[in-house]
A = this chain, B = another copy of it.
Amino acid sequence: MKVLIVAVVCISSLASAADPLPSWNDTAPKRAILQFVEDVTKEGSATFVPVADRIATFDNDGTLWGEQPMYVQAYFALDRVKTLAPRHPDWKDKPPFSAVLKGDLKSAFSGGERALVELVMATHAGTTTEEFEQEVTDWIATARHPQTGRRFTEMVYQPMLELLACLRARGFKTYIVSGGGVEFIRPWAERVYGIPPEQVVGSSIKTKYEVRDGRPVLVRLPELEFINDQVGKPVGIHRHIGRRPIAAFGNSDGDFQMLEWTTGGKGPRLGLIVHHTDGEREFAYDRQSLVGKLDKGLDQARSRGWSIVSMKDDWNRIYP
C-alpha cells in the first residue's frame, strides 16, 4: 500500500514537471542529486532501491541551518545562564559563568572543553524532559541571531528544505544526524524541517525515570551519554536507524565518517558536502574555522565521489 502511494506521489510530482529544486542552480551538485534520485526510484532498473531502504541523513549545524559565528545551541546555553543566574548567586564569581554574565565570551570559552561541558550541564540538565522541551520551544520562538537579526529558524537553508521535500516525495525517510543535542533539535524540527522527533539522532545526556507525586517523569542528568559526532555518527545511525543510509549530507569534518559509512555501501550512494563559500549572503569558512571546520572532506571529496556544493555558485537563494 505504502509503496503504491509513494509511486503515485512520484508520478504526479514528475508529471507536473515543476523543478523540485528551484533554489539550486543547474550545476553539478543539482545534477548529481537528480541523477541519484532517478537511479534509485526507477523501477526495474539495476539501481532501483526499495522504499524501505531509502534512508537519507542530514547533519544539522551548517548543513540545514547556520552555525556562525557560534552554534545556535551555544546561544541557547548562554541565554540559559542569564535566565538561571538568580537561582545561582555563586555564578557571579565563578568561571565560566561569571564571564558569560559579564558578556565576555572570549574568557568564557577560554576554559576549553571542560568549561564548555560545565556550561552545557548547568544549562541543559536538572529539569524533566518535558520542562526542557518547553524551555527550548519558548527560546527558539523569540531568540534572534546577533548579526542578522533573524530568528534562528529563519536561518535554515532554502535549497536544503527543497531537497528534504524532494527526497520525501520520492519515498525517502529523512533523518537529522547532528552533533548537537537531540533534545535541543526535536522540539522544532518537525515544524521547520518536516522531520519528526523519532527521526532526529543527536548527542545526548543521560535521563532517569522517576515517579514524582504520582506523576512519571524523565529527569535530565548532568552526565554525557553519547557524542554523536565524527566516528560517533555511524554508531548513532546504526543504533537508531539500524540500516545504512544511501544518501548523506554534511558540511564539516564532523560529518566525514557519516559520509564514508553511507557511501561505503553497495549500490547507488550519494554523499554531499555543503561548502560555505558565500561571505556576502552567509559566511565563508572552511579549513581554519573553529566551528564547522572542513579540511579532510575538501581534500578527499573528489576521490570519494562526493559532491561539493559551493553555496555561492550552486545556490541562487540561501534563506527562505
Q: Which residues of A contact B (CB under 8 A)?
A: 1, 5, 9, 52, 55, 129, 173, 182-183, 186, 190, 196-198, 200, 204, 207-209, 211, 215-216, 218, 231-232, 234-235, 238-243, 257, 260-261, 264
Contacts and interface: CB of A to CB of B under 8 A. Distances in A.
B242 A200 contact: yes
Contacts of A198: 55, 173, 240-243
Contact of A260 (B197, B211, B235): B211
B211 A238 contact: no
A170 to B, nearest CB: 13
9 contacts: A52-B190, A182-B239, A198-B243, A209-B231, A209-B235, A209-B257, A211-B260, A216-B257, A240-B240
Given A182-B242, A209-B257, A216-B264, A196 B52 contact: yes
Q: How many copies, total?
A: 2
Given A1-B9, A197-B243, A207-B235, 15 more contacts: A55-B198, A129-B238, A183-B242, A197-B241, A197-B242, A198-B241, A198-B242, A200-B242, A208-B235, A209-B232, A209-B234, A215-B264, A216-B260, A216-B261, A218-B235
* Most chain B beta carbons < 10 A, residue from A198, A242, A243: A242
Nearest to A186: B242
A71 to B, nearest CB: 20
A6 B261 CA distance: 34
A243 B198 CA distance: 8
A261 B209 contact: yes
A207 B240 contact: no
